Amino acid sequence: MRIVAADTGGALLDEKYNPVGLIATAAVLVEKPYRTATLSVVKYADPFNYDMSGRQAVREEAFLAVELARKVKPDVIHLDSTIGGIEVRKLDEPTIDALTITDRGKEVWKDLAKDLQPLAKKFWDEMGIEIIAIGKSSVPVRIAEIYAGIYTARWAIDYARENGKAIVGLPRYMTVEIRSGKIHGESLDPREGGLFGEIEAKTEGIGWELYPNPFVRRFMVLEVWKE
């Protein structure tokens, strides 16, 4: 199968490791054997001006995934929202009310569905491709999360070149390595069966260090500086 998925991750941190805002939404095309992406795209947010309620993220993910899917025509699109693997085009009010999620979650989804349900319906009518809110259970969503972390590292390099230094937090239990001409990232959870990603990047003249975020176990911090 060919699956497009999207996820948002990576946060700009201040010197005390407080999150300022999220950085990268990545969409990926994942094909068998489902360990990395065949293709990836990114949309950067402005971490200094970020809506942390979670609504911005899901909306960006849906639109970026659809954009990539128009080109690569996958069998299905996976979004990172755990509402039971439901098809987004079917998300009308009664369906949302019937979901076994919190009332707060229902309000968020009623709001989100205003944009996303027509988007999903149009995409289904035109392309015959479903958008499914499958969430954490999806391996392609996890691969998108890893790519969000890798693109976050590239953002940090660019930011450090301009501003001298950047401190970013990576998505959950993943690591990155800045190599010559590329950034490699991978899951730190061996139970996931070896998920990883790689993108090209200008990496010369940059120093970096990766270490555990002392306040958030299982999350790594990446510091990048101009050398």
Token reading at 173: 């239990």
Q: 3-state class of 91 per DSSP? A: coil
Rank residues 57 and 170 by Cβ distance to a copy of itself and give the closer one. 170
Residue whose CB is less far from a copy of itself, 136 or 202:
136
The burial class, CB within 10 Å (0-12 / 13-18 / 19+), for 127 is middle
Q: Which residues bind a copy of itself (CB under 8 A)?
A: 1, 3, 16-17, 30, 32-35, 134, 136-140, 142, 172-173, 175, 188-195, 209, 211-218, 220
Phi, psi of 195 (to 5 degrees): -80, 135
Written as six digits, the tokens of 98 are 């019937």
32 versus 162: smaller Cβ distance to a copy of itself = 32
Closest CB 143 distance from a copy of itself, rounded Å: 9
| Cα 131 to Cα 150: distance, rounded to the nearest angstrom | 24
Q: Which residue's CB is nearer to a copy of itself, number 164 or number 212?
A: 212
Distance linking the first and last C-alpha atoms of the chain: 44
Backbone Cα Rg of the chain: 18
Q: C-beta of 202: minimal distance to a copy of itself in Å?
A: 25
Least CB distance to a copy of itself at residue 46 (A): 27
Nearer to a copy of itself, 16 or 200 (CB): 16
Phi, psi (degrees; rounded to nearest 5) at 43: -130, 120
In whole angstroms, how close is the CB of 173 to a copy of itself at the nearest point?
4
Least distance from a copy of itself to the Cβ atom of residue 118, Å: 26
